[in-house]
Amino acid sequence: MNWTLEQLRHFAAAAAQGSFSAAARQLGKAQSAVSTAVGLLEADLGVELFDRSRRNATLTPAGEVLLQEALELLRQADGLQQRALSFASGQEARLSVALDEALPSLVLADLAKEIAERFPALELTQLNGTATEVADYVAAGRASLGCHLDRGDPGPAFAERYLGRVAQGVFVSHAHPLAGLAQATRADLARHRQLVMKMEGVDERVLSPMAWRADSFYSIASMAVDGLGWAILPLNIAEYEVYRDQLASVPCAGLTLPPLSVRALWLQGAEPGAAAGWILGRMEQLLRAGDPGVARRRVDSAQSLED
């Protein structure tokens, strides 16, 4: 078959406008050019697309069916052109990003929507895990970029960039004895089991002689909901819909919990491409916008942590 995309565009325009003359005006062509293009398409397909016994350009039954095929081909052709233009301008074709499961979910949701709009040609792979797993994904080459909570020196193999901060606080179940205190002290915390985030190479802040450990903030939050102890959690985790109504914030005298830093990692010498660079900048903006609706509880700003 020798039909062309240009003929398909003339066919689609005539069908949409209801006449060859209107299609010609829309396309900026002479009416004869549109009529000839459609005639050649019909000859090549061996099918009449329009009923010429009528005044307007009315599709035949076969024309109605083939119009849908033509529109899909044109959509694919336009997509091909857009992807080619994106790649020609320096945008990477594929990008694999590893994300810390503890990062604010609303920030990540907004970011994903904006990536889809800004980089429609990008083939994106998203890997999720703990902060340690994010670094492992990048080190193993499974992800070219990682974003996670800063839990210590990542090592000389990585380049890094600070992106923002995530606030944290002390949380317990509503049935826990600490939930009934107007203000807890260090001594109060020491009387109850602490649920601690466990990560290799990171000094743990243990304020109780009784401690349970897990490598996931979500696991720790679930244990806190079950009344198994108190935990220091990122506010966005405590405000996650599963835990929001089941956890209580505990104001603590003399306890300051500095926000957790969020950073990006990539291997030394593998500088982020256009899409990756934009993602880093946009995530930084979203995190620095303040509370993006993920932390509705107010944690006492006078809390202070003294080693």
Please give the pLDDT value at position 253. Answer: 87
Tell me which DSSP letter residue 158 carries. Answer: E
Compare 306 and 244 and report the one with higher pLDDT.
244
Rounded distance between C-alpha atoms, residue 179 and residue 173, angstroms: 7
* pLDDT of 203 above 80: no
List, for residues 145-198, the tens digit of each pLDDT value: 999 998 778 888 999 999 999 999 999 999 999 998 999 999 999 999 999 988
Which pair of tokens denotes residue 11? 């066919």
Q: Is the model more confident about 295 or about 155?
A: 155
Bridge partners (DSSP) of residue 261 are 165
Beta strand segments in the chain, E: 50-51, 58-59, 94-100, 123-129, 145-149, 158-166, 168-173, 194-197, 211-214, 230-234, 247-249, 260-267
Question: How much is the pLDDT for 209?
Answer: 94
Q: Give the whole-number percent of the chain exceeding pLDDT 90.
A: 56
Output 85 or 142, whichever has higher pLDDT.
142
In terms of average pLDDT, the best of 82-96, 245-259, 288-302 is 245-259
Q: What is the pLDDT of residue 290?
A: 53
3-state per-residue secondary structure call for 231-285: EEEEHHHHCCCCCCCCEEECCECCCCCCCEEEEEEEECCCCCCHHHHHHHHHHHH
Q: What is the mean pLDDT of the chain?
A: 86
The pLDDT tens digits of the residues spanning 224-271 come to 999 999 999 999 999 988 999 999 999 998 888 889 899 999 999 888
pLDDT grade for 300, boundaries at 50, 70 and 90: very low
Task: Flag the least confident range among 14-28, 78-92, 210-224, 245-259.
Answer: 78-92
pLDDT-derived band at 83, boundaries 50, 70, 90: low
Assign residue 18 a region: left if phi > 0, alpha if psi is -120 to 50, beta otherwise? Answer: left
Residue 222: the pLDDT is 96
pLDDT level of residue 283 (50, 70, 90 thresholds): very high
Q: What is the distance between the alpha carbons of residues 169 and 257, in angstroms, rounded to a whole number?
A: 7
Q: What domains lie within the chain, and their CATH numbers?
A: 5-88 (1.10.10.10), 94-165+260-288 (3.40.190.10), 168-249 (3.40.190.290)
Question: Residue 288 above 90 pLDDT?
Answer: no
